[in-house]
Amino acid sequence: MKICLFSFLLFGILHSLSAQQPKKEFEMTEGGKTYNMKQYYMVILLKGDHRNQPKEEADKIQAAHLAGIRKLADAGIIQIAGPFAHDEDPRGIFIMDVKDIDEAKRIVDQDPAVRSGRLKYRVYPWWAAKGSTLK
């Protein structure tokens, strides 16, 4: 009886915890085609409040920023990244495949351009069909 009661309580707790976790994937059918949707995180990069570094320092920050993007892309964390074709806000985007918005923020907070104040950012949950590509 104790085992049965313990199992019932454990199931209830696990069910409650899983119900609190937002869905990260779902299927969607549109026009007779089924898409496997997945949640990613879109990072919008904006001009930071501290952009007055000497050119040599700014160039080093930018090189480290780009190296970090490559490293995260190689690790499968950044799915796509790129700048906008103007010198205004926003400056660029990342699409990140991470567990949650807090993980995205922790990673972006480590970016040399963010740490130096050259960039700041906003993060938004974003849905796309798994395997989507640019054409």
Q: What is the pLDDT of residues 20-72, one digit of tens each?
A: 556 788 898 889 998 999 999 999 999 999 999 999 999 999 999 999 999 99
Residue written as token pair 């130096």: 116
> E-assigned strands of 1-118?
25-30, 33-47, 78-83, 92-96
pTM summary value: 0.80
Residue 13 pLDDT > 90: no
Q: What is the pLDDT of residues 91-123, one digit of tens each?
A: 999 999 999 999 999 999 999 999 999 999 999
Residue 19 pLDDT > 80: no
The class of domain 24-129 in CATH terms is: alpha beta
Domain ranges for the chain, please list them.
Answer: 24-129
Cα-flanking dihedrals φ and ψ of residue 69, to 5°? -60, -45
- Comparing 14 with 34, the larger pLDDT belongs to 34
Residue 2 pLDDT > 60: no
